[in-house]
Amino acid sequence: MAISAYIVPQATRSAIVMALALAVPCALIGLFGSNPMITTVTNFLIMLIAVSALGLFSGNSGILSFGHCAFMALGAQISATLTIPPALKKTAFPLLADPILQSQFGLVMALLASVLIVGLIAYLIGLAICRLNGSSATIATLGLLIIVESLIVAAQGFTRGNQAVYGIPKLATWPVALAFAIGTIVIARLYRDSRVGLLLRAARENHAAAQSIGIDIPAQRQVAWVASAMLSALAGALLAHFLTVFSAKQFYFDLAFAIIVMQVVGGLSSVAGSVAGAVLVTAAIEMLRRLENGIDFGLFQVPQIFGLTQIGLCLIVLAILYTRREGLMGFAEIDRFLPFLRKREELATEAAAPTQARPTGTLTLEKVSKAYGGLLAVAEVDLELRVGEVLGLIGPNGSGKTTLLGCIAGTHAPSGGRVRIDDIDITGHPAHEVARQGIGRTFQNIRLFAHMTAAENVMAALTQRWPQLGHAELVRRSRHLLDELKIADLAEREAGTLAYGQQRRLEIARALALEPRFLLLDEPAAGMNESETADLLGILGWLVKDRGLGLLVVDHDMQLIMRLCDRIAVLNKGQLIALGSAAEVQASRAVREAYLGRRHAEVIT
Ligand SMILES: Nc1ncnc2c1ncn2[C@@H]1O[C@H](COP(=O)(O)OP(=O)(O)OP(=O)(O)O)[C@@H](O)[C@H]1O
């Protein structure tokens, strides 16, 4: 399939509009502006590359990174080393190998080398960092910044250490910076809506739900990490060729802070936010710097105020975050404000029903156990679930139902026993691999990708099941699934804004996108009123009869369980105490004792 089939038309239109909106004023200033204005614009464009690079990783993964400034430092060092004239290099970098000392490269080769070398370094570091979550990952990136700075300072004979690197050719003119800034924005915007971007955003929104649709989260982060590190290296190298002299400390906390401020002020999770943040912060810094030196208004004079720039920046950040917690643009791209960019793809409306073969197979649990320290939450449970069957799993609070579900879905590693689908052993496999084997799930507390549209929620799962499908076909299939769950009219709504019952349906539609053989439903009727529960019963019945899925349903709603399930398994204190039809389970003395206690059970019998 041609590569164009994978590109999202709306993202392309959005990228083109942003590129034009950037190019026209910058080119006008470049052509007709004064030298200080051109300097400001060139600096702004380079910072924009740095911010967009950071946004590509941090915005889509939700992990704030300080380490990208380290990649800028490396990019600057490499490009400077390769372009400084040999005569200067010998005194500046006495320990460098002869072939490097004697050679001098042009801008293109130097940038290429910086980007590729940093890409390789980032790949190796990413193998560790991309496995960390949340604040642990952020702290690791902070460590990366400190380590790289220390190494650059320590390797004085190769890098000049703390001293200024000078003699760098001034090659980053405004047209060069503009060309690379446009390229970076286009890459960042296309990435965001690409299938890898979609999967990473899904992981940012909800880790467990992303795993449940088969997303290998570290692998997706790694793609964004390497790409954004390479773009950061580009920004660093261009900054070196813009300044012509720099020292290692210029790529340390101050710069990392400035870039993060731009991203946070603009909106951490959008490319338009990167642009807005870079414009606003650059303009604010320019104005504050002028004020800092004092201004003579004729009638009165504003005196010199040291530190005004930093104080002013902090106040701007506080004011924006106080009024808009997610930054100026939040999660929105310019498409949200320009309806002509959102033109719906024609193919999307003519939904042809994808045909799915009826699933086959049996899910088998053999003596599955799970211990938390000294507590045996699940004790040697044997169960079997066939496709086309509904198995209820009930038990008093704390009896081990959710834990058992987790042992099947791969979120909990069993302490003993086996979980198989036919002959395939999936015991202890990570959740995303279990999902790929045909086990879908929904959660006790609904877990959607709240800031993504309903269609995107489903498409994220579809890309896992059908990686070869083009964008138009993904849209068509997502519409079809939403239509089956009677929420097609909500396709473009953000999932987090849907009503409770609609969210449940969307969660099921997303799970179905994987074409699972078995579906694990953890308290699907929790929080539902009578009519919503009746609706749910209809959907679950359809999943079994029409789709032929095997359902494992955990719920406290006994009416739902009795009406829906072919067989019911009862857990108490982690042990399977009954398994059979509704009538058999109701007649079981062990079950009554588990729910009512022995004394009450005796009174009733
Ligand atoms: N991460 C954990 N660490 C330690 N103990 C845990 C953990 N998760 C669950 N447990 C314990 O394991 C037992 C089974 O818990 P589980 O949540 O599986 O029960 P449940 O039947 O799903 O309960 P409920 O119906 O209230 O959701 C409980 O005693 C619980 O306190």
Q: Which residues line ligand 1 (CB under 6 A)?
A: 372, 375, 377, 395, 397-403
Gap from CA of 402 to ligand 1 centroid (Å) = 7
Q: Strands, E, within 492-593: which ranges?
A: 518-522, 550-554, 567-572, 575-580
CA 378 to ligand 1 center in whole angstroms: 9
Closest Cα to atom 6 of ligand 1: 372
Q: Report the separation in Å between the CA atom of 584 and the middle of ligand 1, taken as the mean of its atom positions.
A: 26
Per domain, the residue ranges of the chain are 8-249, 362-604
Residue of minimum CA distance from atom 3 in ligand 1: 372
pLDDT at 352: 52
The confidence band for 2, taking pLDDT boundaries of 50, 70 and 90, is: low
Give me the pLDDT at residue 1, please.
Answer: 59
Q: How high is the mean pLDDT of the chain?
A: 91
pLDDT for 90 equals 87
The alpha carbon of 571 and the centre of ligand 1 are apart by a number of angstroms equal to 12
Tell me how far apart the alpha carbons of residues 491 and 469 are, in angstroms, rounded to a whole number. 19
SS3 content of the chain, % helix, strand, coil (to 5): 60, 10, 30
Phi first, then psi: give them for residue 417, nearest 5 degrees. Answer: 90, -175
pLDDT tens per residue across span 316-371:
889 998 999 889 998 889 888 888 887 665 444 445 555 567 788 899 999 999 99
Determine the Cα–Cα distance for residues 472 and 143; give it in Å rounded to an integer: 43
What is the 509 CA–ligand 1 centroid distance (Å)? Answer: 28
Evaluate if residue 527 carries a pLDDT over 90: no
Q: What percent of the chain lies above the pLDDT cut of 90?
A: 73
CA of 376 to the centre of ligand 1 (A): 10
In this prediction, residues 436-451 reach a mean pLDDT of: 94
Show the tokens assigned to 105: 């490269």
Tell me if ipTM is over 0.90. yes
Distance 393 CA to ligand 1 centre (A): 14
Helix 35-61 vs helix 68-83: angle between axes, to the nearest 10 degrees? 130
Instruction: Name the pairing type of β-strands 550-554 and 518-522.
Output: parallel
Tell me how many degrees the CA angle 362-363-368 measures, rounded to the nearest 5.
145
Which of 375, 521, 553, 573 is the pocket-test mutation for ligand 1 (most atoms within 8 Å of CB)? 375
For the segment 429-441, the average pLDDT, to the nearest whole number, is 94
- Which residue CA neighbors atom 16 of ligand 1 most closely? 400
* Secondary element (H or E) of residue 570: strand 567-572
Flag whether pLDDT at 559 surpasses 90: no
Ligand 1, atom 14: nearest CA belongs to which residue? Answer: 400
Question: CATH number of the domain at 362-604, out of 3.40.50.300, 3.30.465.10, 3.40.50.720, 3.90.226.10?
Answer: 3.40.50.300
Report which ligand 1 atom has the smallest distance to the Cα of 378: 14
Q: Which of 368, 401, 403, 405 to mutate to test the pocket of ligand 1 (most atoms within 8 A of CB)?
A: 403
Strands 416-421 and 362-372: antiparallel
- How far, in Å, is the centroid of ligand 1 from the Cα of 248? 52
Taking residues 78-85, what's their average pLDDT?
A: 96
